[in-house]
Structure 1
Amino acid sequence: MTTAGVRATARIEARDDGRGGTSLPVLDGEGPLALRRIRSSGCEARVMLVGAMSGPLGGDHLAVEARVGPGARLRVGSVAATIALPGQVKGEARYDVRLDVADGGELVWLPEQLISAGGSELFVSSRVDLRGEARLVFREEQVLGRVGEQPGRLTSRLTVRRGGRALLDQELACGPGAPGGWDGPAVLAGHRALGQLVVVRPEFEKGLPTARLLGEYAALTPLAGPAVLVTALAPDALLLRRVLDEALRDLT
């Protein structure tokens, strides 16, 4: 910790162990970012991100990095929601996610929700780099404010690249100070839970799922590659998760 806030990085590296499983030669957490390996399933290694402290708070800079090698399979989740809170240090907090999946590797990224508490200010940057026949499931869920509370300022950018080519690059800002209209009918329409699901599978090269609505405030959109994007809005986190879970079951 410094006078400018907490600086911490969690690192995961997954490799094919040569015996039909996945090893984790690097599993290293710092400060509020603790990592725990849990019981694996088949050839898949499973890791949980455990928040050891409150945050991110104002001025904090947290990062999670994961690398998946050829033939390795990694699933990452978290034990609880992440809550962005105002802190004693003035200024924006940052939360960076950097994911790299090699040819033939697979990453399933399913953390719990990020909650933007009133008075907080957070910039979230997620970047995923895929190579060759890499496979990906990436879920992102955000809740604007706790019960009965106005949200903080939340800016989120997600970039997914395959072979150096962009499949998706988008940014959304919500809360006080965000560009006007973020809560209007053309964006969130008054909803406080928003999420997206990106699924990249080599077999989509033979035929992508067709674009379609998944409800009044959810849609599936094919991307320019073997990938699809599901976006959803909901009045609360429970209903948002239900929509995204149903979409994931249909896609996998």
Structure 2
Amino acid sequence: MSVQATARITAAPDGRGSTALPVLESEGPLALRRTRSAAAGRARITVVGAMSAPLGGDRLAVEVRAEAGARLTVDSAAATVALPGAVPDAGPASYDIRIEAGREAEVRWLPEQLVCAHRSALTMTTRAELAPTARLVLREEQVLGRHGEPTGTLTTRLTVHRAGRPLLDQQLAYGPGAPGGWDGAAVLGGHRAVGQLLVVDPAYEEEPVPSASLGPTAVLTPLPGPGVLVTALAPDARLLRGLLDEALERLSPR
């Protein structure tokens, strides 16, 4: 039997210089735990997998809302592994992330990797709605197949709107059924770990970040707005995380 579950987080200033969590709702395999934050004034939530998911046919969602002035980090305790499931013809699983950040709010979405196991099928969508003065740091990492196995099918879409206007709309597809050439030299070039780091910061309006190569398999691209997208490839998850961590350090305020 497939699972339908939605976890909800709302962050708001507590009036004492910190961030409160008036809404923290777990459901199904999505267990939310408040954990210690290294940054003063910031709340941190860790998503803990309470059961194996997503499996074929599952419908999972996480809704994050940061009210004006709130500062929130959401991460996860372990990698998410997309599996085929036991029900034949259950169809692809779906995993939807919705992020809303109000004025002067900051959201850092930093989960662990998504691993697409052999014969799995997953559609993942991430949509962010940002106020003009909101800040977003978002990292997505996909590992195509567990060690020594072919990948499943993965389709991802990342959409970001700022002040009601589109800032980024990107769709990627890998695995059986994806458009031809996804694993060729012009796309993955034999790599099996791919990631994106998106930073949206109003400060970039006055001081744009120039495009740059971050090595042979990573590139930093300024967006037509106050945002920067880093795209990286690597042979494995560890090396991919290293590339994205270096990029985030480069983009962090001095």
Structure 2 CA distance for aligned equivalents of residues 84 and 20 of structure 1: 39
Task: Indicate the residue corresponding to 2:143 in structure 1.
Answer: 143
Structure 1 CA distance for aligned equivalents of residues 78 and 223 of structure 2: 30
Structure 2 CA distance for aligned equivalents of residues 166 and 216 of structure 1: 30
Task: Indicate the residue corresponding to 2:184 in structure 1.
Answer: 184
SS in 2 for 1:229: strand
Task: Indicate the residue corresponding to 2:154 in structure 1.
Answer: 154
Instruction: Check if 1:228 corresponds to 2:241.
Output: no
Instruction: Check if 1:22 corresponds to 2:10.
Output: no
SS in 2 for 1:109: strand
Structure 1 CA distance for aligned equivalents of residues 167 and 239 of structure 2: 27
Q: Which amino acid aligns with 1:206?
A: E
Q: Which amino acid aligns with 2:241?
A: R
Identity %: 63
Q: Which amino acid aligns with 1:51?
A: G
Task: Indicate the residue corresponding to 2:164 in structure 1.
Answer: 164
Deviation at residue 92 of structure 1 after TM alignment: 0.6
Task: Indicate the residue corresponding to 1:132 in structure 2.
Answer: 132
Deviation at residue 185 of structure 1 after TM alignment: 1.1
Q: Which amino acid aligns with 1:74?
A: L
1:173-200 residue CA offsets vs partner (Å, 9 max, x unmatched):
1001111000011111111000000001
Deviation at residue 88 of structure 1 after TM alignment: 1.8
Task: Indicate the residue corresponding to 2:117 in structure 1.
Answer: 117
1:123-175 residue CA offsets vs partner (Å, 9 max, x unmatched):
00000110120001000000000000000000000001101111110111100
Aligned length: 249
Instruction: Check if 1:34 corresponds to 2:31.
Output: yes
Structure 2 CA distance for aligned equivalents of residues 224 and 18 of structure 1: 35
SS in 2 for 1:231: strand
Task: Indicate the residue corresponding to 2:10 in structure 1.
Answer: 13
1:74-124 residue CA offsets vs partner (Å, 9 max, x unmatched):
001000000000012321100000000001100011000000000100000
Task: Indicate the residue corresponding to 2:61 in structure 1.
Answer: 63
1:75 to 65, 73, 76: 73
Task: Indicate the residue corresponding to 2:216 in structure 1.
Answer: 216
Structure 2 CA distance for aligned equivalents of residues 109 and 128 of structure 1: 11
Q: Which amino acid aligns with 2:84?
A: P
Gaps of 5+ in 1: none
TM value normalised by structure 1? 0.98
Structure 1 CA distance for aligned equivalents of residues 36 and 249 of structure 2: 22
1:10-65 residue CA offsets vs partner (Å, 9 max, x unmatched):
00000011110000000111010000001233100000000011110000000000
Instruction: Check if 1:46 corresponds to 2:33.
Output: no
Structure 1 CA distance for aligned equivalents of residues 190 and 176 of structure 2: 14
Structure 2 CA distance for aligned equivalents of residues 225 and 20 of structure 1: 30
